[in-house]
Structure 1
Amino acid sequence: MAGYRGPAHVTVAHQHPVIVGVELSGNFEPISGRYVWRGRVRGLKHALGSPNEVESGSDLVITTPAASGVARVSGVDLWGNHMVDGVTRPPFPAMKDVDGPL
């Protein structure tokens, strides 16, 4: 399973980016026939400051050293981390296409 864990620049609603920790992973879903990714963004509320709430359905631009991608907030876990689902290509190297029989 491909992914990325570490610091990333995260931008919410065209604000200035903040640097927070992310844990992202993805895999090929054979039933849908596409690559999907998801993950967790840690400390976003604290990094943005108290008047800025990030609600479910908000889009985030996540930039890692490898690439950028857009994710949508799907919820907040018990520790205040934002759970995200990828909307675009992932912001990390994904698995390569495999030719031939598996």
Structure 2
Amino acid sequence: MADSHERSDYIGPGRLTIDGCDFDVEIELRGVFQPIDGLYRWYGRTRPAPQLCEVLRGRRAKARLKTPEGESVATVGDLDFWGRYRLEGTGRPPFHRRASVE
């Protein structure tokens, strides 16, 4: 059985900018092309980030997500039990997409 991290397209540092404030976070992202609507959708989670929890308090927010590989608009929300926020976006992801072998 494959390790869940093997399916990730990006694991590493990211910077979220929300309402003009920057938050350095560790993130894990993956993405998939949706042939029905023709869009690339990417998603993932932050590692627990207390400073982000303090500001967002569980609410959703629009953000700019920057990694060493790229930058994209993201939605931050859906805080889980472990203090990790869900990240999601559509279109060009903030990471280099792997070539598909399928």
Q: What is the TM-score with the length of structure 2 in the denominator? A: 0.76
Structure 2, unpaired ranges of 5+? 1-6
Q: Where do residues 32-71 of structure 1 align in structure 2 (5 Å cutoff)?
A: 32-44=37-49, 46-48=50-52, 50=54, 52-71=55-74
TM-score, with structure 1 as normaliser: 0.76
Which one has a larger percent helix, Structure 1 or Structure 2? Answer: 2
Q: Assess if the C-alpha contact under 8 Å between 1:68 and 1:90 holds in 2.
A: yes
The answer (yes or no) to whether the contact 1:55–1:73 under 8 Å persists in 2 is no
Aligned residues: 95
Query: 1: CA distance between counterparts of 2:90 and 2:58?
Result: 16
Alignment of 1:20 with 2:33, yes or no, is no
For structure 1, the residue ranges without an aligned partner over 5 or more in a row are 97-101
| Displacement over 4 Å in runs of 4+ | none
User: In 2, distance between residues paired with 1:59 and 1:29?
Assistant: 22
Conserved in 1, the CA contact under 8 Å of 2:14 and 2:66?
yes
Q: What's the C-alpha RMSD, in Å, of the aligned pairs?
A: 2.5
Instruction: Give me the identity figure in percent.
Output: 33
